[in-house]
Amino acid sequence: MSQSVDSDVSGGSAVRTFIQTHRAAFLDDLAEWLRIPSVSAQPDHADDVRRSADWLAARLKETGFPTVEVWETPGAPAVFAEWPSGDPQAPTVLVYGHHDVQPAAREDGWHTEPFEPVVRGNRLYARGAADDKGQVFFHTLGVRAHLAATGRSTPAVNLKLLIEGEEESGSPHFRALIEECGERIAADAVIVSDTGMWAEDTPTVCTGMRGLADCEIELRGPDQDIHSGSFGGAVPNPATAAARLVAALHDEHARVAVPGFYEGVSELTDRERELFAELPFDEESWLRTAKSHATHGEAGHTTLERIWARPTAEVNGIGGGYQGPGGKTIVPSSAFLKLSFRLVAGQDPDRVEEAVRTWVADQLPNGISHTITFGAATRPCLTPLDHPALQSVVRAMGKAFEQPILFTREGGSGPAADLQDVLDAPVLFLGISVPSDGWHAPNEKVEIDLLLKGVETTAYLWGDLAEHWRDAH
């Protein structure tokens, strides 16, 4: 291991030298991990998921983490590692990622074997190269570069890693796992390395994810389907009632019309809007990605604001009455709606649920009864632009990329919110993947130079965090 120490406190050139020296071995090691088809969704790969956990545990030991454990769950195992700073003032950081991957088969359209990594130019092709093994693995070389460049024998922060094995299966046991682990995973900040950047030439940091509340509404009218000739036009129709509910969900400005829905919503600051607007957004290309033929959404907001920073109500499914070919002249007996609500920081899923329940009950006409069932909600998470830990990430990334860092958010919802919620700690997203990496698609790849920028970012991050955390607290 190189011990050269740079004069620069965060060790810029030393870090780069270290990374260049270990580049080949790092990529070889990653390739070895990528050969393990740790597909959590396929039961016949259960052993591979376990092998993947064991492989990572061994590699984290080798990296220098004094504590490395494979944690069992009722499903696939997670890997936990801990490397105390030794400094009683040091903040504690928990890195989240996952070692399981999406299914992949050559016949899905892969040009090479998905579990036989291939390097072509700057690209490493394999299932999991970007999502998420590559982005987990850059932390191993990153912490070594941090130590090498600073001459430390322990990281500047108390470094913890929690790498789950079921993310691609919906993290069914993750919430229970982190609730049980309690103090073991306590942290002052969470770094999630399972996202990406705007584009290869536009490095960005994601500052939050939307939350999610979803419900199913069953509407009942006549006790059975009845003849539309004999009764139509004189009794309430539950399919019409369902449709009218959906139509009433949004006002003429495409804002959600449920009273109280926007209560507490953390509005975008002017600065955030300016920064979003600096991203090179091309509507045509976005529409191609969305496979959609027009944009449509809340008045007064751009497309990026709508998908990242505004709460929404969406119909995911609707049904009722005759579903077969041709027509059938009935007033249907029942109809259903499956609705989901994306939530943003400041919204409380419980209050949204209450608001929706009240609204639905108020909307329905006489003669239509209903049942409404909510699923488990996911909270939104957001770290403000001026949060000191976010500032550290931006500085570390800016130093690695030698470019200004812009900001994104994630419109989807995920286990990051569980970490924010259970640990009561800010969540920071550090990812170097780009949209062309093909997550969940054939020919997944990672850009090697970006992967090494990830290594470099973490090599700078721990020192910066430790230094500025002290200043801020």
304-333 binders of a copy of itself (CB under 8 A): 306-307, 310-312, 314-323, 326-332
Question: Measured between alpha carbons, how far is 275 from 449 in angstroms, rounded to an integer?
Answer: 25
* Distance in Å, CB of 170 to a copy of itself, minimum: 11
| Closer residue to a copy of itself, CB minimum distance, 296 or 473 | 296
Binding region for a copy of itself (CB under 8 A) out of 5-13, 104-112, 230-238, 398-406? 230-238
Closer to a copy of itself by Cβ: residue 223 or 471: 223
Which residues within the stretch 177-216 sit at the binding site for a copy of itself (CB under 8 A)? 210, 212, 214-216
Does residue 335 bind a copy of itself (CB under 8 A)?
yes
Residue 223 touches a copy of itself, criterion: CB under 8 A: yes
Return the residues of window 389-448 that contact a copy of itself according to CB under 8 A. 410-413
Q: Which is nearer to a copy of itself, 152 or 175 (CB)?
A: 175
Least distance (Å) between residue 175 CB and a copy of itself: 17
Stretch that binds a copy of itself, among 18-26, 80-88, 243-251, 263-271 (CB under 8 A): 243-251
Return d(Cα 104, Cα 125) in angstroms, integer.
Answer: 12
Cα(9)–Cα(13) distance, rounded to whole angstroms?
A: 11
User: Exposed e or buried b for every residue in 172-207, given b needs 16+ CB within 10 A?
Assistant: ebbbebbeebeeebebbbbbbbbbbbbeeebbbbbb
Contacts of 137 by beta carbon, 8 Å cutoff, 6+ apart: 26, 29, 30, 33
CB of 399 to a copy of itself, least distance (A): 30
Contact set for a copy of itself, span 269-288 (CB under 8 A): 287
Closest separation in Å from C-beta 413 to a copy of itself: 6
Of 20 and 224, which has the nearer Cβ to a copy of itself? 224
Q: Is 162 in the site for a copy of itself (CB under 8 A)?
A: no
253 in Cβ contact with 349 (< 8 Å) = no
Residues between 360 and 389 that touch a copy of itself (CB under 8 A):
365-369, 375
Which residues are CB-contacts of 408 (< 8 A; sequence separation ≥ 6)? 197, 198, 204, 205, 206, 207, 276, 279, 304, 308
Residue with Cβ nearer a copy of itself (64 or 297): 297
What is the DSSP track for 152-184? Answer: -SS-SSEEEEEEES-GGGT-TTHHHHHHHHGGG
From the centroid of its chain, how far is CA 245?
31
| Closest-CA residue to 419 (of 89, 175, 68, 81) | 175
Rounded CA separation 217/242 (Å):
9
Q: Facing residues of 227 across strands? A: 330
Instruction: Output the smallest distance, CB 289 to a copy of itself, in A.
Output: 8
